[in-house]
Amino acid sequence: MIGRYTRPEMGRIWELENKFAIWKEIEVLACEAQAELGQAGITKEEAQWIRDHADFTVEEIDEIEKVTNHDVIAFTTCMANYIDADIPEGAEKPSRWVHYGMTSSDLGDTALSYQVTQACDIIIDDIKRLGATCKRRAFEFQNTLCVGRTHGIHAEPMTFGMKFGSWAWALKRALTRMEEARAVAATGAISGAVGTYSSIDPSVETYVCEKLGLTPDPLSTQVLARDRHAQVMAALAVTASTLESIAMQVRLLQQSDVIEAEEPFTKGQKGSSAMPHKRNPITAERVCGLARVVKANAQVAFDNVALWFERDISHSGAERVVLADSFTALDYMFAKMQWMLDGLQTYPAKMEHNLWRTKGLIFSSKVLLALVDAGITREDAYVIVQRNAMKVWEGIQNAVDGPTYRERLEADDEAAALLSVEKLDEIFDPWDFLTRKDVVFDRLQELEF
């Protein structure tokens, strides 16, 4: 991922320095486990020497790989040079015990699992932080009236806090998915070629995994099955879709014709190089754009599941790109969404103004039910409601300052005969729609991150 969209903590996880540091720790732990086991010939003193002297530099590994064309061999060769540097000429080299009985995937896959758990932990914290913000702001706007929209068309009244509340619940589901994906990913394998433990005792795998906070794979075929990684990538993609959905709502709310809310516009910020009046939702748009990257990357992870027989490396190059990029992009997206939603500018007066822009049409469902309650069929009631509504729509569409929906009903003989002034007062009270709204806020109160 380019530096523009990389936050330092997440970026460090996917740097080669961190990957090779994990590789080193796995190799050292395996040596310590072999020494404890007492079967391979390595002594505890040699294991300690290896821990004290093992080292590497990324630059040296790169130079060696230019010759070996094999990154693991380049790494173990580099580390061996440091381990044996102070060993007298002719003496046995402690580095001979490094990678003993192991295959490349034992090292690479186990380390990748550890990196994924590190990255998952950051995303999980991101989710919790943004979820708590959405919950807090939901109660801030619990009684802020606004119009709900379906198909982009004014529907019925709601409160603005319900928007934040729905986002909080979506993030709670994202949290559950990420925690489940982390558990699936937190798996290691040090089982040798084709996973038979032919040259290494399973207790070495158990020891290394326990030290790293991983669970040994019950049956690895030299590689960890890539459905584990696909589940992680799917969780990242769905989470990105959730952030995209929220960002899309901000973009819609910020439209000039709506302008009920907008992302922060900071001091000194410029909206357009040509039009100085512009306040564009650029951060929300950026989140929507990066979501496309994360979602597309998930397909790569799905394709990586199917490997030839016990293993091939068709997955390797692809996942080095998409795992790092997806985690990094999503972490960046969360940072931007946290900034955006925590500081979201809201305009309650404009919300109420918009609620009445359709001249009372949003109360049509209440009118329909009131006419049915008055004794006529639903079909007959629908005719009365719709014919008056369409006349109001025509005025709105043609920018004609005509009668409101209530005034149309009061002038309609059939409607007026069935609906009293008192009943119309009740119908056209927006809060009458919201007598049960506290049910959803009571549920939200119990939500924890």
| Catalytic positions, written as ranges | 151, 272
Residue in the structure block whose two tokens are 């070996």: 68
- Tell me the chain's radius of gyration from C-alpha atoms: 31
**Composition of the chain by helix, strand, coil, percent to 5:** 65, 5, 30
Task: Give the three-state DSSP class for 145.
Answer: strand
**Which residue blocks in 216-347 are alpha helix, DSSP H?**
227-253, 282-303, 314-342
Tell me the C-alpha distance between 249 and 407, whole Å: 33
Tell me the C-alpha distance between 345 and 262, whole Å: 5
If we measure between CA atoms, which residue out of 4, 21, 13, 108 comes closest to residue 327?
Answer: 13
Tell me the C-alpha distance between 79 and 354, whole Å: 67
If we measure between CA atoms, which residue out of 260, 108, 259, 102 comes closest to residue 188?
Answer: 108
Task: Give the three-state DSSP class for 429.
Answer: coil
CA 334 to chain centre: 8
Task: Give the three-state DSSP class for 449.
Answer: coil
If we measure between CA atoms, which residue out of 226, 223, 250 comes closest to residue 344?
Answer: 250
